Structure formats: C-alpha cells, structure tokens
Amino acid sequence: MNKLIEKFDQSESNYGLKGKFFSNKSLKNISWFKVGGPAECLYIPSDQEDLSRFLKYTDKSEKINVFGRLSNVLIRDKGLTGLTILIPPSISEFNILKNNTIEVGSGMLDKDFSKIALENEIGGMEFLSGIPGNLGGAIAMNAGCYGKEIKDIFVEARVMNRDGKIISLKNDQMQFSYRNSIIRDDQIIIAGVFRGKKKSKKRITEEIKKVEFQKKNTQPSGVATGGSTFKNPKEVKAWELINSVGLSGFQLGGAMISPDHNNFFVNTGNASASDIEDLGNLVIEKVKNKHGVILEWEIRIIGDR
C-alpha cells in the first residue's frame, strides 16, 4: 500500500488528476457518528471523468471502499486499509426527462432530490426528504422509510466498474431486497434515473411536511447518529424489540440507545466506534435470548478494530 501512496502523492502532476489525494486521512469529522480511524489512502475526485481516470491508474487487485456522506456507516477505530473514495457533491447534476422522470448524480443529497422533484411537480420522491445521506448510498442499500423504498421509483443506474468504465443496470438487474441490492464496493454508482407521477406542488409539499413532521417527532435530532441501526425483522419493529429488553436510553461508554427512538444509537460526545459496535452486539444478544430473533445490522460496519 505504501507504493500506492507514493504513486499518487504526486498524482496531479503525473496523471492529470484534478481531485484531492490524502494519506492517513481522518474520517472522524465527516462521519455522522463522529468516530472512527483514518483512511490509509483517500481520493476525492473532482467529477465523474476524474474518478474514471483515477481508477484506470490503480491496481485492480487493490481493495476499495466507496462512500458518500458516511451517514449510515460505522468506521472502526483503527480505520480503513486500501483505497477509499468519497463521492463529492459535485457529482450531482440532474436532468428532467420525459414521463415524470429525473436523472440525477449520485452525490446529491436525498432531501435535495426531493426538492427538485417538488419544483418539477413530480410526486413519489417525498419520502427521500426523511432519509440522510446521498443518492448513491440510497440506491445501493435500497433505502426507504414510511412504507416507500428506492426500488419503487428506480428505473436504472449508471455504474462505474473497477476499470473506470460505465455500465447501466435496470431495476430488475439490481436485485433489490430489504435494505440491499447487487451493488458492491467494486461498483460505483454515478447516477440514477427515477420515475414518479405528476402531482401538484401543493400535494407534494404536504407529503414532505408529513415526512419531516414524523421524523422530527420520532427520531433524535441535533446529535451524532448513524440513522437506523438494525433492519426491521418481519412483523415487528427493531425498536420494539430493543425496548422490550429494557435497553431504551442504555449507555455503554460514550454510546447510547436513543430514548426518542430505540433503533437509533447516539454518540454522546466521547464514544469510540467500539463503544457503538459493542452496544449493538449487546442488543443483538439480549433480543436473541428473549425473543429468539437475531437482529441484523442496517448500519454498514467497516474497518479494523
């Protein structure tokens, strides 16, 4: 890996790259949890073409980690080995197409996309106003809330492979399931195409307000959290199971289960990534012992402890 660092330390002059390259770069301050170790090699491309050029110069056997806003991710305390790529906000161009369809870059925030749909009187995207992070991550995990999921509005994605080339994946090729899809780290979502229905700005605004009201009144705000911690098992909510084992408000180190919504973990100010992961494992154990249900992490946990 040191050779890769040396190779790209002077990448702008040697390879004509316009992005930013860092070695041993802390991701703690941009992580929504405000925890985690450094990225051994980090590249933030300037745009799609720059990302493609960068990938063509990397060793294809090198492990890569791809993130957007690090909203639903827990990076462990020793950080990330290999190559880490952050998709920048600059990859967020959009085009309004025919039949209430929008093509949008993966770097755009979910809530900003819902506003674009509003301005163009395209309904169906309102639920995205309640989801943190950017569209690339939302597509990859089939994000959803309040009964709606990405797969319900998704048409196709433009995906960059490890060679820097673009392929298209249709809805039926994505293998969408609950909080999952076919996308893995060697596939980087560049843009998505979504289709909604014609709807008045008034009705869309009303729907967005409902989503925002429900989020404000049921989820913690103004704190360091990674969003929903566990996937909901069939026929029961994860928060209900957590509450049933008496862990609402429980704290381990600097990590706490939010009393506002038991499926949200909060960094109270001095948590380590291990605190959060250990708290989650404690929840899994207690829920399994009482109910025989094994909770599955929704938050993506990555890196070395």
CATH code of the domain in which 292 resides: 3.90.78.10
Report pLDDT for 57.
87
Q: Are residues 100 and 199 in the same domain?
A: yes
Taking the C-alpha atoms of residue 10 and residue 165, their distance in angstroms, rounded to an integer, is 24
Q: What are phi and psi of 149, to 5 degrees?
A: -135, 160
- Residue 295 near residue 289, CB atoms below 8 Å: no
User: Which residue numbers are catalytic?
Assistant: 179, 228, 298
Taking the C-alpha atoms of residue 211 and residue 146, their distance in angstroms, rounded to an integer, is 8
Residue 213 covered by a domain? no
- Residue 225 near residue 266, CB atoms below 8 Å: yes
Residues 174, 176, 182, 184, CA torsion sign: positive
> pLDDT under 50 in the chain at which residues?
11-12
Question: Could you say which of 151, 171, 203 is where a domain stops?
Answer: 203
Report pLDDT for 59.
86
Number of separate domains in the chain: 3
Residue 208 covered by a domain? no
Report pLDDT for 60.
86
Taking the C-alpha atoms of residue 189 and residue 53, their distance in angstroms, rounded to an integer, is 16
Residue 17 covered by a domain? yes
Compute how many other C-beta atoms are within 10 angstroms of the C-beta atom of residue 230.
24
Q: Are residues 234 and 296 in the same domain?
A: yes
Taking the C-alpha atoms of residue 39 and residue 37, their distance in angstroms, rounded to an integer, is 7
Q: Which two tokens stand for residue 46?
A: 């300037």
Nearest to 226 by CA among 75, 88, 23, 98: 75
Taking the C-alpha atoms of residue 99 and residue 209, their distance in angstroms, rounded to an integer, is 25
**Which residues lie closer than 8 Å to 73 by C-beta, 6 or more apart?**
31, 32, 33, 67, 226, 299, 300, 301, 302
- Residues 177, 48, 300: CA angle, nearest 5 degrees: 35
Report pLDDT for 14.
60
Q: Are residues 192 and 105 in the same domain?
A: yes
Residues 200, 145, 237, 217, CA torsion sign: negative
Q: Are residues 277 and 293 in the same domain?
A: yes
Residue 146 covered by a domain? yes
Residue 216 covered by a domain? no
Q: Are residues 37 and 102 in the same domain?
A: no
Classified as helix, coil or strand, 265 is strand
Domain that holds residue 274: 221-302
Q: Are residues 167 and 236 in the same domain?
A: no
Report pLDDT for 230.
98
The CB-based long-range contact list for 221-224 (8 Å cut-off, 24+ gap) reads 223/258, 223/266, 223/267, 224/32, 224/33, 224/34, 224/35, 224/266, 224/267, 224/271
